[in-house]
Chains A and B, each alone.
Chain A
Amino acid sequence: MAKNQRRLNLSQKYQLMTRGLDWETTYQPMDKVFPYDKYEGIKITDWDKWQDPFRLTMDAYWKYQAEKERKLYAILDSVVQNNSQQNISDARYLNAVKIWMQGVTPLEYAAFRGFNMLGRGFRGAGARVACQFQAIDEMRHYQTQVHAFAHYNKFFNGFNQHARIRDRAWYLSIPKSYFEDAMTAGPFEFITAISFSFEYVLTNLLFMPFVSGAAHNGDMATTTFGFSAQSDESRHMTLGLEIVKFMLEQHEDNVPIVQEWLDKWFWRGYRLLGLIGTMMDYMLPKKVMSWRQAWEIYWEENGVALFNDLARYGIRMPKHHETATREKYRITHEFWSTIYQFSHATALYTWLPDEEEMDWLCAEYGELFEKLYKPRYEYWRELDARGERFFQKRLPVVCNVCQIPIFHTYPDDPCKNICLVSEYKGTKHQMCSEGCKDIFDREPEKYCQAYIPPQQIYQGNCGGATLEDYRKWLHIRDEDAGEYYGSEDNQLWEKWQAEAARV
């Protein structure tokens, strides 16, 4: 017998290892065994039609993941041995890494929890297997990131107490609330929110230009875990697209439900990614591409092509995508201006762009930047020179949905602040945009219960009712926060540069 005939081909192997793994239960009705996969209204007539196009099976999964881990940890070891923390472009860069550790790494853990729930919750064994792989992947991402950051923690501020800061920092409710919103929905909405909207449509903007930016700025640790995680991400994205197509193919009644989820989670994801765009535009001393350019490539080109493909199922472009595209010239500047004013209340440093960076921003963002944002930075620079570095004295009002400080402006007028209000059960709720207001108004009973950190802080529920009390409760020291220039990180970096210049 020829060698090839003895071996199973890919799809035979996939069939054998992902099908027939379970049975019709008799002691308990199936609806009790799988209590959560119907209430959202999604109708599935044949779970067997669900296929992983990569046809990944458990044996191959372990083999590839072990190989990825071996490579990753070999590089992390050499990062430590070779003092690679000294090879980054500039210590300002590390504040982007701090945002990652404080804001993104906890999402990996949240994803791990969420996919464990799906790995139990879906009735179809094929989809359950794919979700179980993903749960293990997400735990791996969480662990490798903590390991990578542990090295920076030996030298720089802002990398300690990652678990406490995740739970307590007001500004980290921006990423945290995204996942908690998804996890408190049903399994089909969760997977649409995470695997499709976040991972397929939007994380290319996070992992590709930003991790490429880490490479450009000499950060071998982040580059390595970033691309290693992203290699799993292609599988996650594919799971997202397949599950969305699967829902659309299984029953026409699913189409309007999926459309509403796409509308909601596109907007929530877009809002969250504004933070990543700000890291790209302001926190990478050596630039790879601007947020505007990344938006054009990964949304206007690749994202729109994806929606063109989904049109045959009756899916249209997500609501408010025009606003997102219109905002590409302003969102990162509005965001950075906000972080700049509040960094004394975070475990981050901020600074004003230098002359060269200002030129780059003018070139990337043109007239709007020159007219609106550059003068603002110049004004703050004057204050700084007079010894009056500008910080806000109070915490901001944040959006009841995306939890971002309400710094946004009207889509057709970047000089006019927007704050939209919905009233529900006698209470007023503020939102940053039409997109977030739509989300609130669709499920007011859910969002009226959202935990809004600044409100909790001023009610005295977070160590006391003043900013000082709160900072103590958060365990942020003066040295961890505020202006970059003159900070401990800045001083250490200058010392290393001086030493390097001497030899």
Chain B
Amino acid sequence: MPENVFIALQNTPEAQPIIEAIVADNDNAVVNESPGMVKIDCPKRLVLRRETVEEKLGQEFNLQDIHLTLISLSGNIDEDEDEFVLHWDF
């Protein structure tokens, strides 16, 4: 039964720390690259943590800044200052 959530980001230098953070925090994440963009699939739940991005980036990061590189997503969203979560609940 299909159960992936996904997030797609522009393949730009700005997106790199975000992509690295997602890969670090989600064991089952699968990264698919195509021209100009990166799509990351993950079964049921995918989390993006502010702290992990800050570690990769070496400076403070506001999670809402993903609006600048986000292309698309699929899943129910929960967002606060520290975490951005995509999830299916079935």
Contacts and interface: CB of A to CB of B under 8 A. Distances in A.
Do these two chains interact? yes
Interface of A: 9-11, 53-56, 60, 64, 67-68, 71, 204, 207-209, 211-216, 223, 227, 230-231, 233-235, 237-238, 241, 245, 288-289, 300-302, 304-306, 308-309, 311-312
B70 interface: yes
Nearest to B44: A305
Q: Interface size bucket, B side?
A: 20 to 34
Interface string B1-39: 111111010100000000000000000000000111101
25 contacts: A10-B64, A10-B81, A60-B64, A64-B64, A64-B65, A64-B68, A207-B71, A208-B71, A212-B34, A212-B36, A215-B36, A216-B34, A227-B37, A230-B72, A231-B67, A234-B70, A237-B72, A237-B73, A289-B34, A302-B74, A305-B3, A305-B88, A306-B74, A311-B90, A312-B90
Contacts of A230: 71-72
Nearest to B89: A309
Contacts of A213: 35
Contacts of B72: 204, 207-208, 230, 233-234, 237
A241 B76 contact: yes
B73 A234 contact: yes
Given A238-B77, A288-B35, A302-B74, 13 more contacts: A11-B80, A54-B77, A64-B65, A68-B68, A215-B35, A227-B37, A231-B70, A234-B72, A241-B76, A301-B4, A302-B6, A305-B4, A309-B90
Interface in B27-73: 34-37, 39, 64-65, 67-73
Contacts of A309: 76, 88-90
B28 to A, nearest CB: 14
A289 B32 CA distance: 13
A254 B71 CA distance: 31
Nearest to A310: B90
Contact of B80 (A10, A71, A306): A10
Given A309-B76, A309-B90, A311-B90, A67 B8 contact: no
Contacts of B39: 208
A9 B67 contact: no
A96 to B, nearest CB: 15
Given A9-B80, A231-B71, A308-B88, A300 B35 contact: no
A141 to B, nearest CB: 14
A268 to B, nearest CB: 21
B4 A231 contact: no
Contacts of A211: 36-37
Contacts of A227: 10, 36-37, 71
B5 A53 contact: no
